[in-house]
């Protein structure tokens, strides 16, 4: 297995570009199943999760052509399968995103029930309840969810929680439903807006973009389209913290500062200078130690759970103590023990981590447990004294496009050691 080795202490400086958003690319690719015409997506990040959905869509009958410049041409003239198999769902839970589009296009879908995962139980009951409201019959057979509907009917669905992929599945399912569908308490993440924008370009009638109240009027068919995927706000946020934790001066181009308001506010509160333009952010840390700033994760526009582990690495070196509460997932603190092995002083009480800032971290061999935990350990390694070796970085490769190359271009002493 590949490893990442970091010699800590280098101050990051220069300019870097954001990649396209993983969590927008996945539902957008799933949504191309809704048409038999050609779709061209640009700014698709090169990631392991994208290769997984490529495999899944290919099995379902899609023809995908990836080009070097992050462009994908995709066409599904006919569906040749209706199943998301266990082997793919277990490597990427977002495979459940084909449930809504398959059901809408073919009237049937068979998707392996995802089990628990490293960050929590993560059930999909709200996806299924919503689809049932739209008239789907749902049953479970040998670990698979089978959803069937001759034609879905518009209905009002009120989500108990603003689930991100649940909202996306319901939007895709409702696009061809007879009449009007209303989704209340819909998730408001920017990746959902990106999906709605693309579907509307294809001919869907979805109103309420950016709000928790979505209204979808069913249409008969969708056409192909060209669409550019939004920048990855979590990658941008991670790069912002890489600049801050190394006392750096970094400009991040081609990003969406308006998607990172909660992260920017916390950084400023900690005493870090952040300059914004419409599509770039500059992060400058010219001070000594930064202030301790507590954070509680929440659905968008709150502080993202996908930035919690990285914020904790940053806070582990702050001047003072902070509380980091995780309210979205029940078990997303696996990075704590690894950070503590690097000299951090973090303890957990229920859903809250108490982070007492230390003066320095020391490099150590550490193990990534999930995607964002791996980013957190890399941030800690960038700031630590000595060498940090991060193993199990296949987690990182699921969701960050060449992160080590981007950091190296900014002056980090970081390299990947390939598995023999």
Q: Which is nearer to ligand EPU, 124 or 147 (CB)?
A: 124
Residues of span 115-134 touching ligand EPU by CB under 6 A: 120-127
Residue with smaller CB distance to ligand EPU, 100 or 166: 166
Is residue 163 part of the contact set for ligand EPU (CB under 6 A)? yes
Nearer residue to ligand EPU within complex by CB, 290 or 329? 329
Tell me: does residue 114 bind ligand EPU (CB under 6 A): no
Size of the site for ligand EPU (CB under 6 A): 24
Q: Give me the residues paired with residue 362 across strands.
A: 385
Is 143 a binder of ligand EPU (CB under 6 A)?
no
Cβ neighbour number for residue 275 with a 10 Å cutoff? 11
Say how far apart CA 400 and CA 73 lie, in whole Å.
22
Q: Which of 80, 117, 121, 207 is catalytic?
A: 117
Distance, in Å, from the CA atom of 305 to the CA atom of 234, rounded to the nearest integer, reads 10
Nearest approach in angstroms of CB 158 to ligand EPU is 13
Residues of this chain, 346-375, that bind ligand EPU according to CB under 6 A: 371-372
Among 100, 154, 166, 357, binds ligand EPU (CB under 6 A): 166
To ligand EPU, the closest distance from the beta carbon of 377 in angstroms equals 14
In whole angstroms, give the CA distance from residue 231 to residue 278: 13
Q: Which residues contact 87 (CB under 8 A, 6 or more apart)?
A: none
Residues 203-232 that bind ligand EPU (CB under 6 A): none
Which residues in 378-417 contact ligand EPU (CB under 6 A)?
399
Radius of gyration of the chain (CA): 21
Cβ closest to ligand EPU, residue 314 vs residue 400: 400
Report the C-alpha gap between 8 and 62 in whole angstroms.
44
**Per-residue mark of binding to ligand EPU, 178-207 (x: CB under 6 A):** ---------x--------------------
Q: Is 328 in the site for ligand EPU (CB under 6 A)?
A: yes
Does 161 contact ligand EPU by CB under 6 A? yes
Nearer to ligand EPU, 127 or 247 (CB): 127
Q: Which lies closer to ligand EPU via its Cβ, residue 88 or residue 328?
A: 328
CB of 305 to ligand EPU, least distance (A): 5
Out of 25, 33, 89, 94, the residue judged to bind ligand EPU by CB under 6 A: 94
Judged by beta carbon, residue 314 or residue 329, the one nearer ligand EPU is 329
Beta pairing class for 352-356 and 365-367: unpaired
Largest CA distance in the chain: 64
Stretch in the footprint of ligand EPU (CB under 6 A) among 32-40, 160-168, 214-222, 240-248: 160-168
Q: Does 233 bind ligand EPU (CB under 6 A)?
A: no
39 annotated active-site: no
The DSSP letter of residue 113 is P
Q: In what order do the strands lie in the sheet with 180-184?
A: 156-158, 180-184, 213-217, 205-207
Instruction: List the beta bridge partners of residue 276.
Output: 281
Taking the complex as a whole, the smallest distance from the CB of residue 266 to ligand EPU amounts, in Å, to: 17
Phi/psi for 104 (5° steps) reads: -70, -40
The residues annotated as belonging to the active site are 117
Residues near ligand EPU (CB under 6 A) are 23, 26, 94, 120-127, 161, 163-166, 187, 305-306, 328-329, 371-372, 399
């Amino acid at each position: 297995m590949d490893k990442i080795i970091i010699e800590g202490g280098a101050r990051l400086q220069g300019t870097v570009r954001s990649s396209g958003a993983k969590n927008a690319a996945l539902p957008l690719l799933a949504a191309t199943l809704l048409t038999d015409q050609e779709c061209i997506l640009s700014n698709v990040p090169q990631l392991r999760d994208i290769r997984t959905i490529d495999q899944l869509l290919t099995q379902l009958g899609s023809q995908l052509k990836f080009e070097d410049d992050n462009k994908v041409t995709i066409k599904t003239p006919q569906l040749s399968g209706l199943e998301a198999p266990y082997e793919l769902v277990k490597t990427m839970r977002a495979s459940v995103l084909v449930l809504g589009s398959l059901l809408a296009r073919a009237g049937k879908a068979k998707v392996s029930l995802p089990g628990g995962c490293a960050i929590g139980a993560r059930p999909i009951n709200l996806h299924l309840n919503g689809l049932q409201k739209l008239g789907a019959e749902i049953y479970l057979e040998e670990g698979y969810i089978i959803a069937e509907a001759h034609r879905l009917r518009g209905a009002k669905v009120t989500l108990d929680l603003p689930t991100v992929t649940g909202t996306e599945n319901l939007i895709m399912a409702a696009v061809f439903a007879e009449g009007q569908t209303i989704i209340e308490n819909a998730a408001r993440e920017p990746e959902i807006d990106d999906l709605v924008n693309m579907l509307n370009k294809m001919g869907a009638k979805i109103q309420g973009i950016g709000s928790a109240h979505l209204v979808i009027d069913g249409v008969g068919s969708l056409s192909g389209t060209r669409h550019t995927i939004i920048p990855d706000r979590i990658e941008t946020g991670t790069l912002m913290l890489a600049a801050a934790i190394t006392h750096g001066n970094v400009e991040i181009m081609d990003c969406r500062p308006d998607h990172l308001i909660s992260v920017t506010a916390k950084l400023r509160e900690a005493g870090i200078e952040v300059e914004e333009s419409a599509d770039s952010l500059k992060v400058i840390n010219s001070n000594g130690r930064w202030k301790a700033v507590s954070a509680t994760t929440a659905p968008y526009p709150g502080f993202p759970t996908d930035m919690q582990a990285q914020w904790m690495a940053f806070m582990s070196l702050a001047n003072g103590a902070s509380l980091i509460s995780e309210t979205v997932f029940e078990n997303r603190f696996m990075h704590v023990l690894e950070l503590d092995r690097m000299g951090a002083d973090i303890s957990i009480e229920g859903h809250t981590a108490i982070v007492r800032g230390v003066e320095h971290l020391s490099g150590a061999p550490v193990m990534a447990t999930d995607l964002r935990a791996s980013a957190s350990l890399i941030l800690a390694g960038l700031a630590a004294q000595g060498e940090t070796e991060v193993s199990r970085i296949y987690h990182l490769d699921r969701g960050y496009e060449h992160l080590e190359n981007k950091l190296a271009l900014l002056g980090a002493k970081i390299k990947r050691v390939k598995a023999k």
